[in-house]
Structures are given as C-alpha cells and as structure tokens.
C-alpha cells in the first residue's frame, strides 16, 4: 500500500477522498488535514483521519504521497516544501502557488528526486499539461490559447444567450455554484493569468512571472458589446494566450476577445474550458472539457497520483526550452483583443 496524506477536504479534496475510497489502486489514506475538524465530511473520510496540524502527516514515515488541495500560499507552500525535502511525491491543484513559486518547487523536486504534479491546476479535467509534455512534445509551439476560467465563460454565455447584464449573469453563476462568493479573481482575469503562466511553462519551457501577463478582465463587457459582436458574426470570450513574439520572447495576455463564431474557442459555452495548441507538426489541436468542479479536478489530481506512484521516486525530467516554428504561417490563430466600450 502507498500511504497518502490529503491536505484539504473541500470541493476538490472530498471528491479525491471519494475516488480513493471507490478505487482499489493500492493507496492508503492515512491523514486528512482540514481547518475545522467538526464540519460534516464525506463518508469516505473517517473522523479518526482528520487533523488540523499540517506538520503531523510529514512526521509519519508511512506517508509517501502528499496531495495538497487546500489552496492559498500558506501553509500550502511550507507543507509542499517539507514534503519534497523529505523525498515525498507531491500532487497539487494550487494554481496560485504554482504560478508564483513553480520554478523553485520544481527545482526542489528535481534536487530531491521527488515527483511534483500539478495537472489539476490548469483547466480541470483537460490533460493539457500532460499533452504538451508528452504527445505534443515534438512540436515547436507557436501559441497556446484557451478559455481557462469557467466562471467568466458561463457569465459571457448567459449574457449572450439570455440577454442578461453582467451582474445578473454573475448572480446566476453564483446560485449554480459556478462562481465563488468573491468572484474578483475570476472577473479580473487573475485566475486565468495564473493558469496561463503554468501553461506557458509547458508550452515554451520557461517560468515567467505573473506580472508579465497583460491582464484585462470582463468587468467592463456590456450587453452592447455582446450585441455588436453577435451582429458581426462574433462571440466574446475571455481568452488567455501565450505566444512567441519577436526575439523568441513569450507574450502573455488575458483579455476579452471577439472571435469569429466559427472559431473553435467561440463554440465553447458555459463553464466548459478549452485550450488550442498551435505547433509546427500538429497544426492546431483543441482540447475541451470540464475545467473545474470537484470531480473534474479530482480526475486530474488522481491521474497525477497514479503517475506519482508509478514514478517510484523518479522526478519528471526538466522541460526543455522550445523554439519558434520555422514553418509558422504568420496568420493569427486568434484575432486581436477587442476594445470594450466604457
């Protein structure tokens, strides 16, 4: 049996615990770290496993894999560093932490011969990081562009199809659980920007700081903008794009764009996510699916868990830097950002 410590038992953590309980893959859940041990939990988490001290599982030599689905910078950062330093395999869904400290954590994992998996941090169940690292690895990537935030895509879709204004569409998203009580990180594009930094790391082999993302959210998008776009045969989507600019520089941008209705990203509705990858060999490959939610995110977490177990302590090799495609056609996969009226 492979001993597992689960940090966090909320939306994602409880779905991971359920998956662990219903699949006989040889994992033993030994600790579940939460803030409030008295809260009602899923049946898959026996009370005896609940802890509030994040250090306790790291003192247990029976723990080989740590799953961090608590969120936030701390204590998530400290426990992941502690786990890697002691040679544990780590799986996390923490996009904010990985976008900020991914370079340092990957270097630590590499130095300690430990696995660090964070597929769940970008686009939920869509295996885009794995695709870039594996099946698409031969490509010189020119551009990756995606709808990486389900909340804003849900809002834009409802504004378009139900003629709602932004506050009404946001209320609907919150009622259905597609938006958090504080939707600031979603609406401002910050959540998508964090995911874009991680995506760019896999597409171009470099960690770039979050501040490099030119980031514009959807707060200023009006019903009038949506109508104008529809009349022009276009749809407005919040697009996160990483592309190679002049001098091999990676350009990062999150902004609302008016896409031709036939564009693959324009067809992505509601809370669905999608990522288009443009490479010199593969052309344009589009991956789409559920980008958030407990089960969809647990799918990616559990996939990394299986890889962590299979890696037997071998870390993933560092990604190489990729170069621009000499075959690049010069045609834009996406039109320029739209100008939103004030």
- 3-state SS, residue 149: coil
Instruction: Tell me which residue has its CB nearest to ligand NAP.
Output: 10
Binding of ligand NAP by 290 (CB under 6 A): no
What x/- string results for residues 12 through 31 when contact with ligand NAP is judged by CB under 6 A?
Answer: xx------------------
Binding of ligand NAP by 270 (CB under 6 A): no
> What gap in Å lies between CA 168 and CA 291, rounded to an integer?
22
Q: Name residues whose C-beta falls within 8 Å of residue 263's C-beta, 6 or more positions apart in sequence.
A: 334
Judged on CB neighbours under 10 Å (0-12, 13-18, 19+), 111 is exposed
**Beta strand segments in the chain, E:** 2-7, 27-33, 50-51, 65-68, 89-92, 116-117, 141-147, 213-215, 234-244, 250-260, 272-279, 283-290
Owner of token pair 């979603």: 186
Cβ pair 214, 255 in contact under 8 A: yes
Binding of ligand NAP by 185 (CB under 6 A): no
Binding of ligand NAP by 173 (CB under 6 A): no
Q: Which of residues 296-325 bind ligand NAP (CB under 6 A)?
A: 297
> What gap in Å lies between CA 141 and CA 279, rounded to an integer?
4
Binding of ligand NAP by 5 (CB under 6 A): no
Q: How far is CA 210 from the centre of its chain?
A: 14
Q: Closest by alpha carbon to 270, among 297, 244, 288, 295? A: 288
Q: Which of residues 38-77 bind ligand NAP (CB under 6 A)?
A: 39, 69-72, 75
For ligand NAP, how many residues bind (rule: CB under 6 A)? 24
Binding of ligand NAP by 8 (CB under 6 A): yes
Catalytic pick among 195, 201, 202, 322: 195
What x/- string results for residues 102 through 141 when contact with ligand NAP is judged by CB under 6 A?
Answer: ------------------x---x-----------------
Binding of ligand NAP by 147 (CB under 6 A): no
Binding of ligand NAP by 276 (CB under 6 A): no
Minimum Å distance from CB 322 to ligand NAP? Answer: 26
Tell me whether residue 31 or residue 235 sits nearer to ligand NAP (CB atom): 31
Minimum Å distance from CB 251 to ligand NAP? Answer: 25
Q: Is 195 designated active site?
A: yes
Tell me whether residue 57 or residue 279 sits nearer to ligand NAP (CB atom): 57
Q: Closest by alpha carbon to 143, among 278, 238, 256? A: 278
Minimum Å distance from CB 170 to ligand NAP? Answer: 17
- Dihedral (Cα; 10, 11, 15, 20), 10-degree rounding: -30
> What gap in Å lies between CA 332 and CA 328, rounded to an integer?
10
Tell me whether residue 33 or residue 244 sits nearer to ligand NAP (CB atom): 33
Minimum Å distance from CB 271 to ligand NAP? Answer: 10
Q: Just list the catalytic residues.
A: 195
Residues found near ligand NAP in the complex (CB under 6 A): 8-13, 33-36, 39, 69-72, 75, 93-95, 120, 124, 292-293, 297
């Amino acid at each position: 049996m492979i001993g597992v410590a689960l940090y966090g038992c909320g939306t994602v953590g409880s779905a991971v615990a359920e998956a662990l309980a219903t699949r006989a893959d040889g994992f033993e859940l030994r600790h579940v770290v939460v803030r409030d041990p008295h809260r009602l939990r899923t049946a898959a988490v026996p009370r005896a496993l609940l802890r509030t001290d994040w250090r306790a599982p790291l003192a247990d030599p029976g723990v080989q894999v740590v799953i961090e689905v608590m969120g936030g910078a701390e204590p998530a950062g400290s426990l992941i560093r502690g786990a890697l330093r002691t040679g544990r395999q780590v799986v996390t869904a923490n996009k904010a932490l990985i976008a900020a400290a991914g370079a340092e954590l990957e270097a630590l994992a590499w130095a300690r011969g430990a696995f660090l998996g964070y597929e769940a941090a970008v686009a939920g169940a869509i295996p885009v990081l794995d695709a870039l690292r594996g099946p698409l690895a031969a490509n010189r990537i020119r551009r990756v562009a995606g709808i990486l935030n389900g909340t804003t895509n849900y809002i834009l879709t409802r504004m378009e199809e139900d003629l709602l204004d932004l506050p009404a569409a946001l209320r609907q998203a919150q009622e259905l659980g597609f938006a958090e009580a504080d939707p600031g990180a979603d609406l401002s594009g910050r959540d998508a920007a964090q995911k874009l930094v991680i995506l760019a790391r896999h597409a171009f082999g470099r960690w770039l700081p979050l501040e490099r993302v030119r980031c514009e959210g959807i707060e200023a998008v009006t019903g009038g903008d949506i109508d104008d776009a529809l009349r022009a045969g276009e749809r407005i989507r919040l697009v996160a794009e990483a592309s190679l600019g002049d001098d091999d520089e990676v350009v990062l941008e999150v902004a609302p764009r008016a896409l031709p209705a036939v564009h693959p990203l324009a067809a992505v509705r509601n809370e669905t996510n999608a990522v288009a990858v443009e490479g010199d060999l593969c052309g344009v490959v589009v991956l789409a699916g559920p980008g958030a939610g407990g089960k969809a995110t647990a799918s990616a977490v559990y996939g990394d868990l299986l890889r962590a177990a299979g890696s037997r302590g071998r870390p993933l090799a560092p990604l190489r830097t990729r170069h621009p495609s000499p075959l690049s056609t010069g045609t834009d996969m996406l039109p320029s950002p739209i100008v939103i009226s004030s």
